[in-house]
Homo-oligomer: A and B are copies of this chain.
Amino acid sequence: MKKPTFFLTQIAMALLFVPFVLGCNEKAEETTETASASTFNLTTAKAEIVDANKEFATLFAARDSVGLANLYSQDAKFMMNGSPAISGRNNIQSALSGIMNSGISRVDLITIDVWGSEGLVTEEGELSLFVGDQEVDKGKYIVLWKKEDGKWRLFRDIFNSNLSPK
């Protein structure tokens, strides 16, 4: 009767560890999920945002205010100096048309830094406004970018001028 007891004790001992091992697997899965959520890469996001800014500049130069407005999220706010915040794509399109009609023909955007995580990234940058080849204004901006329909879109866009008011 020694041998069966011996094996039963072994099995009982082994079973004692089952919850630990199962618990361990469960935790391992959780860890994997966490790792998957943190596959967000800020360097990649920054590159995508730099590309979105290039698209912005191209559409602006082409005077495509509809295309520009579509770079903004559905619930975006365009926060320019001299006006309360402008909400939604239609109103943002009008504001951008207004800027174009004032004579601004080109905007240069330079990303300085980005911070954030999956879903929302905040960008600091510098901008220059041109009439033809003439730089007429220089400024700074903060843009909150939101992932919408798989693309980073401007969600909050605030900027102002570096130049003293004339």
Partner-B contacts on A (CB < 8 A): 2, 6, 9-10, 13-14, 17, 20-21, 23-24, 27-28, 30-31, 34, 77, 79-85, 115-117, 120, 122, 124, 138, 140-142, 144, 156, 158-165
For the complex, give the distance between the alpha carbons of A79 and B162 in Å: 9
Q: Say yes or no: A144 contacts B158, CB within 8 Å.
A: no
Q: Say yes or no: B165 contacts A144, CB within 8 Å.
A: no
Number of copies of this kind of chain in the complex = 2
A38's nearest neighbour on chain B, judged by CB, is B34
Give 10 closest A-B pairs by Cβ, nearest first: A24-B24, A81-B160, A84-B162, A160-B160, A17-B17, A27-B27, A142-B142, A122-B122, A142-B158, A115-B120
* A52 → chain B closest CB, angstroms: 18
Q: Say yes or no: B163 contacts A82, CB within 8 Å.
A: yes
Q: Say yes or no: A161 contacts B82, CB within 8 Å.
A: yes
* A23 → chain B closest CB, angstroms: 7
